[in-house]
Chain A
Amino acid sequence: DTAVSQTPKYLVTQMGNDKSIKCEQNLGHDTMYWYKQDSKKFLKIMFSYNNKELIINETVPNRFSPKSPDKAHLNLHINSLELGDSAVYFCASSQGLAYNEQFFGPGTRLTVL
């Protein structure tokens, strides 16, 4: 009965490949997020969706494309992976705006070789 789940937990891939990370929440929330945490633990928002609509799109390369098939899911597809994409990617959800509590998934550690 995990609240926010992500798959896979670990992802190791070669430069130039395309990969996807999936996120699901069973909290009934209407807002979902993708964050990137770099090697220095700095956490930065990438995207936010509210009711399947994109509402935050930070300065993220267009190789990153989020997709929200429904309110409970927010997937992240990354094309042409680069070394600098190596990081931990966190999915989160909240009810309404970000000032409500955000619930985070366990993270996906992406390593690009």
Chain B
Amino acid sequence: AQSVTQPDIHITVSEGASLELRCNYSYGATPYLFWYVQSPGQGLQLLLKYFSGDTLVQGIKGFEAEFKRSQSSFNLRKPSVHWSDAAEYFCAVGGRNTDKLIFGTGTRLQVFP
């Protein structure tokens, strides 16, 4: 079955600390992987995506993610978190011939000053 698991429902970090949000997926074909961010009261915005090639992808707002096929993971990282990064983060998986993205349940990030 196709699925995305985000094991951490809620993460709290201090401003300036590093961040890693975990994402594991199950997908029968070559996965296309995404991270979206949802600020309070807003729609989702794409942070970054991985289709092929270099397994370390850079996104907007200083985020990066690393695809590890052997671990079926696509973890999101940021070296130094800013208070404005507080939001809900969603990992999603899709495929080349599908019109559907499957989203994880999200990780809520709280940032303390």
Contact = CB atoms under 8 A, between A and B. Distances in A.
A48 B99 contact: yes
Identify which of A40, A99, A101, A102 gathers the most chain B CB atoms within 10 Å of its CB.
A99
A43 B90 contact: yes
Contacts, number: 61
A23 to B, nearest CB: 11
A99 B94 contact: yes
A97 B42 CA distance: 23
Interface residues of A, number: 23
Interface string B84-101: 000010100011111111
B41 interface: yes
Interface residues of B, number: 24
Contacts of B88: 41
B28 interface: no
A55 B97 CA distance: 13
Interface string B32-56: 1000100001111110010100000
A105 B46 contact: no
Interface in B96-111: 96-101, 103, 105-106, 108
Q: Which 3 A-B pairs give the minimum distances between C-beta atoms?
A: A104-B43, A43-B103, A104-B44
